[in-house]
Structures are given as C-alpha cells and as structure tokens.
C-alpha cells in the first residue's frame, strides 16, 4: 500500500480525522461485517452492500456467479469500497453540532476474479473465518457444484484511507452555558445467544466460538474526550462536527 494518501484518498474535510496507516485501516476492515461496493455501469452508479473479508493485503468480495456486481467488477471497472463502524451518538447542545463518533475506511482500485481452485477455496475459507472464526473446520466443506456457483474477487489494499471521529460534542462557546444535556450515547454492540435451527438434531450443542462470539476491536474507538473551548474572540459560525 502507498505510504502516503493519494489525491483521491486524502481526507479533505477535517483532515485531522484522516488516518493512512495499515494498522488502523486493517483493524476497521477486520471488525466490520458489511461493506458497500460502489461502481458505475453505463453512467448509472450503484452501491451494493455485501460481506467482505481482509486476507493480508487484499479485500475479498464474494457472491453468486450470476451477480451483476461481481461480473461487472471482473471487467476491470473502477470500484470504491467503504466500511463504517458507528460507535456513539454525539449529543451537542445545539442541533447543528450534534454528530456521531465513527470509524470508516474507503478503498479504491480494481478487482479481479480468483479462478484457480485451491486459491478460490483458500479465499472462501478466509471469508468464513472472518465472519465466524473457528467455523471452517467445524462445518461441511463446499462441494464442486457450490464452488462453481460462487465467485470470489480480490481487491488489493493499495489505495485507501480511514476517517475517524472521537470525543464529545464541540459546541459554540456561548452554548456551554445552556441548560441542555450534552455528551455521547454509546451504541451497544454485541450478539445474543445462538438460536437453534428447528431441524437441529437433538443433543447438538452450540460451539464455544458461537456462545462467546465477538468481533475484533483493535481500531481506535470513540471515547469521551472533552474538547477545548474556543477562544471567546472567535465568534464566526462553524461547520458541524
């Protein structure tokens, strides 16, 4: 991956929130379960939500062999993939400055189809393990018919950036004296207890990797950091944060 942001990935709006190191980018990709894939066909833009997995220096996208998205991307169409993690609602004293703490990644490039059988099987394993760590060796492996019906594309993690907001509300100086509650409201994250399939055989217990399921969380997470007040000399209206 490029050591510095490109003109396409550099964060221009509030640039201090931008991050370009692989550790931050990888952690967000690894924690996320759903990405959004943007591409253009005959002048019409499309944005499709789908599952993904990071495998080393590439992002894996999979779907049906009949998927228009995958077939279009395999033709060499430029693609933009985003992953967003919502952490907290930021409640400011004013509606204008209310916001959200989040972690996001934008990845640009061109994807290619993985066709070699062993490489395709390994990519599918990476996808399953991203979603449910420990599951690949605890389920039936795909057969030839299922592999034929599945396409997997790889997108190099070469041109990417992250954008992160943390901390509490940033209000106008005069608003700090208002009697409105302000702070952050964390978004609860977690998974409930496994619910058995109605056709599950008697005596089959859920494995520990499901009863203890949790997403990895290594990226910078949102925290309540009270921002410094602006100087009273500056009264110009500001853009929302």
> Residue 98's pLDDT is what?
97
Residue in the structure block whose two tokens are 């950091």: 225
Residue 158 has pLDDT above 50, yes or no: yes
What is the CATH classification number for the domain harbouring 84?
2.30.110.10
- Could you report the per-residue pLDDT of 46-76, keeping only the tens digit for each? 999 999 999 999 999 999 999 999 999 999 9
Backbone angles phi, psi at 108, to 5 degrees: -115, 150
pLDDT at position 69 is: 94
Residue 133 lies in a domain: yes
Which tokens go with 213?
A: 């399921």
239: confidence class by pLDDT, cuts 50, 70, 90:
low
Q: Give a yes or no: residue 123 inside a domain.
A: yes
Q: What is the CA radius of gyration of the chain?
A: 22
What is the Cα 68 distance to its own chain's centre?
22
Closest by Cα among 94, 85, 22 to 58 = 22
Domain contains 227 = no
Q: What are the angstrom distances between the C-alpha of 195 and each of 22, 134, 139, 199?
A: 36, 18, 17, 12
Q: State the pLDDT at residue 202.
A: 96
**What does the pLDDT read at residue 189?**
81
Q: Quick check: is 33 in a domain? A: yes
- Please tell me the predicted confidence (pLDDT) of residue 13: 87
What number of CA atoms fall less than 13 Å from residue 105's CA on the CB side? 30
Q: Are strands 159-165 and 99-109 parallel, antiparallel or unpaired?
A: antiparallel
Cα separation, 156 vs 167, in Å, equals: 32
Please say whether the beta carbons of 142 and 124 come within 8 A. Answer: yes
* Cβ contact 124:150 at 8 Å: yes
- 8 found inside a domain: no
At residue 231 the predicted structure's pLDDT band, cuts being 50, 70 and 90, is very low
Number of domains forming the structure of the chain: 1
Residue 237 lies in a domain: no
Parent domain of 168: 15-211
The pLDDT assigned to 25 comes to 96
Average pLDDT over residues 140-166: 96
Average pLDDT (34-54) is 96
Burial (CB count <10 Å: 0-12, 13-18, 19+), residue 105: buried
Distance, CA of 62 to CA of 155 (rounded, Å) = 11
Provide the pLDDT confidence category of residue 96 given band limits of 50, 70 and 90: very high
Asked if residue 6 belongs to a domain, the reply is no
Q: How confident is the model at residue 226 (pLDDT cuts 50, 70, 90)?
A: very low
- Taking all residues of the chain, what is their mean pLDDT, rounded to a whole number? 90
């Amino acid at each position: 991956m490029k050591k510095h942001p490109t003109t396409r990935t550099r964060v221009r709006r509030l640039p201090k929130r931008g991050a370009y190191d692989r550790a931050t980018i990888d952690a967000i990709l690894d924690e996320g379960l759903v990405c959004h894939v943007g591409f253009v066909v005959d002048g019409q833009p499309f944005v499709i939500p789908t599952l993904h997995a990071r495998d080393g220096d590439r992002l894996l996208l999979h779907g049906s062999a009949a998927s228009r998205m995958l077939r279009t991307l395999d033709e060499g169409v430029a693609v933009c993939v985003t992953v967003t993690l919502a952490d907290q609602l930021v409640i400011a004293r004013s509606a204008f400055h209310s916001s959200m703490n989040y972690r996001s990644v934008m990845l640009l490039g061109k994807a290619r189809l993985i066709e070699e059988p062993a490489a395709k099987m390994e990519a599918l394993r990476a996808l399953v393990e991203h979603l449910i760590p420990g599951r690949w060796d605890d389920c039936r492996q795909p057969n030839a018919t299922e592999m034929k019906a599945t396409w997997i594309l790889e997108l190099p993690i070469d041109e990417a950036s992250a954008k992160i907001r943390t901390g509490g509300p940033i209000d106008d100086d005069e608003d700090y004296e208002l009697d409105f509650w302000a702070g952050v409201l964390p978004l609860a994250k977690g998974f409930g207890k496994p619910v058995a399939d109605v056709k599950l055989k008697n005596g089959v217990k859920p494995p520990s990797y499901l009863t203890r399921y949790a997403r990895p969380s290594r990226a910078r997470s949102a925290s309540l950091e009270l921002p410094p007040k602006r100087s009273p000399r500056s009264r110009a209206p500001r853009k929302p944060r």
